[in-house]
Amino acid sequence: MSQYVLLNGETVEAGRGGVSVDDGGLLHGAGLFETIRAYQGVPFRYEQHLERMLRSAKTLDLPITADILPGRDEVCALAAKNALLSARVRLTVTAGPLSAAAGDDGPQPTVLLTAAAMPPYPPELYTEGMTVLISAYRQSRYDPLCGHKTTAYFARLCALREAQRQDCAEALWFTTENLLAEGSISNVFVVKDQKVKTPPVDTPVLPGVTRAAALELARDANIITQELPLTLADLLEADEVFVTNAGFEVVPVVRVERKPIADEKPGVVSQALLERYRAAVEREIVCRL
């Protein structure tokens, strides 16, 4: 956990920060968050995370505007204040005190930035791959929160905990129409006949920043990418499966519960994209140092 946090523009000790007892995020889960990975104290593709938050705020009618969000320099300063190079940065913005909504100044969002140590994942996660669970839960295109990274996140954590109880590292969600959607904390891809496929954003799924990077890097490598509806059969019959998020980067999936994917080993496409992703991180972070 951070020793220091940035709360509403002020750097304070983590234990001394506080929010209003009638904050909309606390009472109703009315808020958005972004998890960003920092390398060498610099957040990777931070601007894309901010853009996603602002798109969601507009769609969900939350009082979040660009001028209240911390900039890249403030993220770097907070990482340095906490003596962190490799860090998990979280930006959380809630609707703020509900009692202020009727005031002259309108709603005053609560803006919280934290930076915690980001130990590397075990190497075997990448060399041996992960096992995933098919969640019993379903997501619906009629849920206004689907496709947005909101602070109403408990259902995702419930699914992830169930996966962990069954020795799986992630839980994959399907829609009420039985289409593959996403992981509890990741986007999911399948590879078939050297083509990288992933559910389209309007499934609905979260438009992940790492998801976008993976598609970009695949196209740069002349790999055909497709965003199209996928089924359980597409998942189980894939040549490769992998998941992405800011923390994981690119992680191969080698088993869906007890069902092996292909030869139950990380595939060449997922391994190549991981290498390309890490090379992109190095290029972009060095430019910021």
**pLDDT tens track for 175-228:** 999 999 999 999 999 999 999 999 999 999 999 999 999 999 999 999 999 999
**Count of CB atoms situated within 10 Å of the CB of 59:** 11
149/108 Cα distance (integer angstroms):
20
Quick check: 60 and 144 in contact, CB under 8 A?
yes
By C-alpha distance, which of 243, 126, 249, 264 is closest to 189?
A: 243
Q: What topology is assigned to 4-117 in CATH? A: D-amino Acid Aminotransferase; Chain A, domain 1 (3.30.470)
Instruction: Break the chain into its structural domains and give their ranges.
Output: 4-117, 123-285
Q: Using CB atoms within 10 Å of the CB of residue 259, give its burial: 0 to 12 exposed, 13 to 18 middle, 19+ buried.
A: exposed
Residue-wise DSSP of the chain: --SEEEETTEEEEGGG----TTBHHHHH--EEEEEEEEETTEETTHHHHHHHHHHHHHHHT----GGGS--HHHHHHHHHHTT-SSEEEEEEEE--BGGGTTSTT----EEEEEEEE-PPPPHHHHHT-EEEEEEEEEE-TT-TTTTS-BS--HHHHHHHHHHHHTT-SEEEEEETTS-EEEESSSEEEEEETTEEEE--TTTT----HHHHHHHHHHHHTT--EEE----HHHHHT-SEEEEEETTTEEEEEEEETTEEPTTSS--HHHHHHHHHHHHHHHHHHHHH-
Quick check: 38 and 118 in contact, CB under 8 A?
yes
User: Each residue of 113-123: pLDDT tens digit?
Assistant: 999 999 999 99
In this prediction the pTM is 0.95
Give yes or no for residue 103 having a pLDDT over 80: no
Tell me the HSE value of 281 on the side-chain side, using a 13 A CA sphere: 23
What's the Rg (C-alpha) of the chain? 19
Q: What is the mean pLDDT of the chain?
A: 95
4-117 and 123-285 share one CATH topology? Answer: no
User: Each residue of 199-212: pLDDT tens digit?
Assistant: 999 999 999 999 99
The residue to which tokens 């990288």 are assigned: 196
Q: What is the CATH number of domain 123-285?
A: 3.20.10.10
